[in-house]
């Protein structure tokens, strides 16, 4: 299994196990850019909340999969997240990551007027992975993700936010920045490289 291989003798364990990414308006382009630049040997799981219209079938796995070097899946209940794979929250379902590395999907009430919620994803990732988690907040209206950023930092994780100049909508990134808990504010072009650097253990805040 990938988990066993990653921890095999002679291979350094990366300092992070999971990257949780949240986006809303303008996010499809931003996510395509980031996922398209992550290398095929990226050693962490990537879990993604992109706010979508729940009335339409999601084509996000196909859209991102065409550009990504990593396999891209729409999350299903009890699926186990694996290093080097991308998992997308399905439309109209909150996605949470459990302590055993499996996915839970719920249709509980809206959070910040949205479902799926970045806050719920980030909070679950913080509880499950602690300091071994990275949260990324990309372009989007509203403030979803700001409470989750606080949870990530309280557990020792790392937070990256897209800058205003490259965000189509700065509501979500701006709300995250106002928490005062963001480690890196980066342009869209810089985020994938920063993730690779962090996973290589070359930067720790």
pTM of the model: 0.90
Q: Quote the pLDDT of residue 59.
A: 76
The model's pLDDT over 85-143, given as tens digits with 9 standing for 90+, comes to 999 999 889 999 999 999 999 987 877 767 789 999 999 999 999 999 999 999 999 99
According to the model, what pLDDT value does residue 203 have? 58
Active site residue 189: no
Whole-number pLDDT of residue 115: 75
Return d(Cα 176, Cα 80) in angstroms, integer: 28
Going by pLDDT thresholds of 50, 70 and 90, the confidence category of residue 74 is very high
Catalytic residue among 144, 146, 183, 192: 144
Q: Considering the candidates 24, 124, 146, 192, report the single residue annotated as catalytic.
A: 24
Candidates 51, 146, 167, 183; catalytic one:
51
Based on the residue annotation, tell me whether 41 is a catalytic residue of this protein.
Answer: no
pLDDT at 108: 75
Task: Answer yes or no: 24 catalytic.
Answer: yes
pLDDT number for residue 45: 98
List pLDDT tens digits, range 34-69: 999 999 999 999 999 998 766 555 677 888 888 899
Q: Spell out the domains of the chain, with CATH numbers in brackets.
A: 13-199 (3.40.50.180)
């Amino acid at each position: 299994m990938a988990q066993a291989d990653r921890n095999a003798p002679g291979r350094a364990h990366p300092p992070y196990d999971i990257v949780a990414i949240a986006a809303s308006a303008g996010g499809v382009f931003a996510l395509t850019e980031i996922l398209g630049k992550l290398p095929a040997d990226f050693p962490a799981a990537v879990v993604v909340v992109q706010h979508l219209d729940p009335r339409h079938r999601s084509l996000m796995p196909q859209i991102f999969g065409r550009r990504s070097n990593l396999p891209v899946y729409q999350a299903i209940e009890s699926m186990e997240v694996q290093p080097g794979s991308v998992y997308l929250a399905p439309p109209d379902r909150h996605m949470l990551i459990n302590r055993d590395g499996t996915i839970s999907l719920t249709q509980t009430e809206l959070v910040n007027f949205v479902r799926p919620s970045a806050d719920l994803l980030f909070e679950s990732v913080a509880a499950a992975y602690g300091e071994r988690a990275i949260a990324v907040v990309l372009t989007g209206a509203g403030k979803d993700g700001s409470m989750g950023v606080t949870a990530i930092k309280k557990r020792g994780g790392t937070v990256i936010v897209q800058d205003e100049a490259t965000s189509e909508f700065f509501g979500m990134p701006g709300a995250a920045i106002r928490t005062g808990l963001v480690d890196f504010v980066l342009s869209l072009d810089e985020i994938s490289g920063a993730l690779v650097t962090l996973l290589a253990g070359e930067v720790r805040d």
